[in-house]
Amino acid sequence: MTQTLTKTNYSLPGQQGIYVGKVRDAYNIRGQYLVMVVTDRISAFDVVLPKGIPYKGQVLNQIASKFLDATADMVPNWKIASPDPMVTVGHFATPFKVEMVIRGYLTGHAWREYKAGKRALSGVAMPGGMVENQAFPRPIITPTTKAESGHDLDISKEDILGQGLISAADYILLEKYTRLLFERGTQIAAEKGLILVDTKYEFGKKDGKILLIDEINTPDSSRYFYAEGYTEKLSRGEPQKQLSKEFLRQWLIEHNFQGKPGQVVPEMPDEIVHQVSERYIELYEKITGGKFVRSDVSNMAERIEANIKKCLKELGV
């Protein structure tokens, strides 16, 4: 299999700490900048799977970078530069402890809850009589807690404000930004023959200003359907053709894994790893309209370190 990057351990100029997430390794530079290395790790059901996915980090970083640029005119974001195919360097912001999830369609987690009889998600009512993959009358915002480890949990706006996780004024702005970003993402997807089904956005604060941080509209944070055939499949009750991690989740479910206590992660055969890699590349090409250029993976760790240090030097670090 193609070489993958599943771990980093750099010592960078001005480094004050490192946060290792499910997929990203984020280096704090002087409390001023953040160096985000997008690895080839993959998670599902909030569990990092044992094998890396070739080119996944490059796909995620480059899609996020393009969308950050494409939305910067309406929502300020953290990005300064992308010095390497797998790296973004930007402003260090203090993250809000909540993720803003927005859903245009009843699918995935929302559908699983709906099918179980629930008619509200994160305190937001869902209409009765809906079927899987049907569009909501208006996209709904269903926030989740941002867990340090384990599962993110649905949380209502009332609980967010009641627990003091976010101020009322900031929350109003987060909802506004979330809808603006989803509208722009939906528009860009439609131009490429895709439907942006649902996604999540993360925000932080720097010098009193709210910034969009982390990734945006990638297959890790979003679900896409193909627009062609959507209506026909919906009317027949057939699964939608989609570009997301949902097919991997379904494979794991079929192999008796949903991240629940006592369950063991199944061994991913090379064939599945290759399929996941191809899905990510397919989405990159579909959503950007450009050809994916595979980077040289022979000395990834060294290349990344050199590109980061060059960028930090240009920033005066």
Domains of the chain plus CATH, in order, are 95-246 (3.30.470.20)
Evaluate if residue 232 carries a pLDDT over 70.
Answer: yes
Mean pLDDT computed over 249-270: 92
Give the model's pLDDT for residue 76.
98
Tokens 């595979």 label which residue?
294
- The band of 283, judged by pLDDT with boundaries at 50, 70 and 90, is confident
Tens-place pLDDT, residues 118-154: 999 999 999 999 999 999 999 999 999 986 655 679 9
> Which residue type does 209 have?
K
- The band of 249, judged by pLDDT with boundaries at 50, 70 and 90, is confident
Closest alpha carbon to 218 in 190, 198, 240 = 198
Sign of dihedral through CA atoms 276, 278, 279, 280?
positive
DSSP codes, 257-293: -SS-TT--PPP--HHHHHHHHHHHHHHHHHHH-S---
Tens-place pLDDT, residues 155-189: 999 999 999 999 999 999 999 999 999 999 999 99
% of the chain beyond a pLDDT of 70 = 98
Mean pLDDT computed over 15-38: 96
Give the model's pLDDT for residue 151.
66
- The band of 248, judged by pLDDT with boundaries at 50, 70 and 90, is confident
- Pairwise CA distance, residues 205 & 8, whole Å: 26
Instruction: Tell me the average pLDDT of the chain.
Output: 94
- Pairwise CA distance, residues 140 & 145, whole Å: 16
What pTM value is reported for the model?
Answer: 0.90
Mean pLDDT computed over 195-216: 96
- The band of 243, judged by pLDDT with boundaries at 50, 70 and 90, is confident
Tens-place pLDDT, residues 183-203: 999 999 999 999 999 999 999
- For residues 59 and 27, the answer to whether their CB atoms sit within 8 Å is no
